[in-house]
Chain A
Amino acid sequence: MKRRAGLALLACVVALAASLAGTSARAVEPNEVLKNPALERRARAISKRLRCLVCQNQSIDDSNAGLARDLRVLVRERLTAGDSNEAVIRFVVARYGDFVLLRPPVKPVTYVLWFGPILILLFGGAGALVFLRRRQAAGAIAAANPLSAEEHERLEALLADKGSGS
């Protein structure tokens, strides 16, 4: 048993390491990289927030698609031209919509998305609390009113009946 658990743990570690290695392999090509390291860092940070619309579940920083490359180059051009990070994001969102953002913005249409889980948790928690309290109260009543000898007899009879009856 112990050996099995050890193997499972090892497999997990290997899988985790592989997934981490996977995320560190970027699609950014050497000729795209800006000479100014500060600007390049900002470009990378922005690229990670923008969805590649061709592959849809990768950021443009991760994707090899032609459009992702074009967008990476565009991000770097806008930064070099003096745009702020937010201005670059706004430029892309104005053309592709909110879907291009990997992290959806908090606004009325996304309230359900952002706050729904918290509400469900609260309702579920409240429900569980009420349920547990009622059960506890019921238990307390039963404890405070033990069965009489007569009831015990009836209960035994009913239990005995269950096997043979129905």
Chain B
Amino acid sequence: MASNEVAPNELAPDEVKVGKGVEEIAGGRRPTRALYLLPVGIFMLLAAIVAYFMLSGRDPRLLPSALIDKPAPTFKLAPIAGWENRKPGLATVDLKGKVTVVNFFASWCVPCLAEHPQIVALSKLKGVQVVGINYKDKPENAKAWLTRHGNPYARIGVDGGRGAIEWGVYGMPETFIVDRTGRIRFKHVGPIVPDILNQKILPVIRKLSK
């Protein structure tokens, strides 16, 4: 079939012609050897990518917020039943004029208790307003929890689930930082442990307070 491509034998001795012809057309010895290393190279690259994501400590279940740099959603939440005179409810207009920390919490949520001292610390900062959204909680439980552990919130809105959807919240606790113009600038999913407070939350607040 391909015999017409091959020069007739009389041009050179058989031995040389056959050896050279096969090597040339089959790609030669040296490039083939380099190709053998290609799978190893690809494997090393994949291993490096996997190692990078494993060692970066990034939790793939944590999702970036779709609301970053967007205005806070339109919402209006009632105060905790029985505390109408002590703590007002929360609505979109309350987020303007001050740097605001919006903290979703519930008395049934254990990580919320873990982050509570940090929320209290935030509420003592000057020029920062800390507000709470009490998610799917019983008013008595929420009141007892706040009385027992301290109430850092200037305002508390009660949410049966719809408020969380407006904020794109999918678990407790979640915390947002809203700038003076009412724009969401930062979101943290999960408890604000002291490291998170110092390394992430406080720098954002400092930047927004300037």
Q: Interface on A for B, CB 8 Å cutoff?
A: 53-54, 56, 66-67, 70-71, 74, 93-99, 134-138, 140-145, 147-148, 151
Contacts and interface: CB of A to CB of B under 8 A. Distances in A.
Given A70-B164, A140-B5, A144-B2, 14 more contacts: A67-B164, A67-B165, A70-B162, A95-B73, A95-B166, A136-B2, A138-B22, A141-B2, A141-B6, A142-B18, A144-B3, A145-B6, A145-B18, A148-B15
Contact of A144 (B6, B61, B136, B165): B6
Contact of A148 (B14, B161, B170): B14
List the 8 closest A-B pairs by CB distance, nearest first.
A97-B66, A53-B170, A140-B2, A70-B161, A95-B168, A144-B3, A138-B26, A145-B18
B34 interface: no
Contact of B26 (A99, A135, A147): A135
Interface in B157-210: 161-162, 164-168, 170-171
B167 A141 contact: no
A55 to B, nearest CB: 10
Nearest to B136: A66
Contacts of A151: 14-15
Interface residues of B, number: 32
Given A74-B165, A140-B1, A94 B27 contact: no
Interface string B1-20: 11101100100001101100
A146 to B, nearest CB: 9
B63 interface: yes
A148 B185 CA distance: 81
A133 to B, nearest CB: 9
B23 to A, nearest CB: 9
Contact of A66 (B22, B65, B161): B161
A145 B63 contact: no
Contacts, number: 80
Q: Main secondary structure on chain B at its contact with chain A?
A: loop
Nearest to A70: B161
B164 A53 contact: no
A67 B170 contact: yes
Nearest to A52: B170
A71 B6 contact: no
B135 to A, nearest CB: 10
7 contacts: A53-B63, A74-B165, A95-B166, A134-B26, A141-B21, A144-B3, A145-B17
A74 B164 CA distance: 12
A53 B136 CA distance: 17
B5 A137 contact: yes
A139 to B, nearest CB: 9
Contacts of A148: 14-15
A137 B23 CA distance: 11
Contact of B64 (A97, A138, A141): A97
Q: Name which of A53, A96, A98, A134 has the most chain B CB atoms within 10 A of its CB.
A: A96
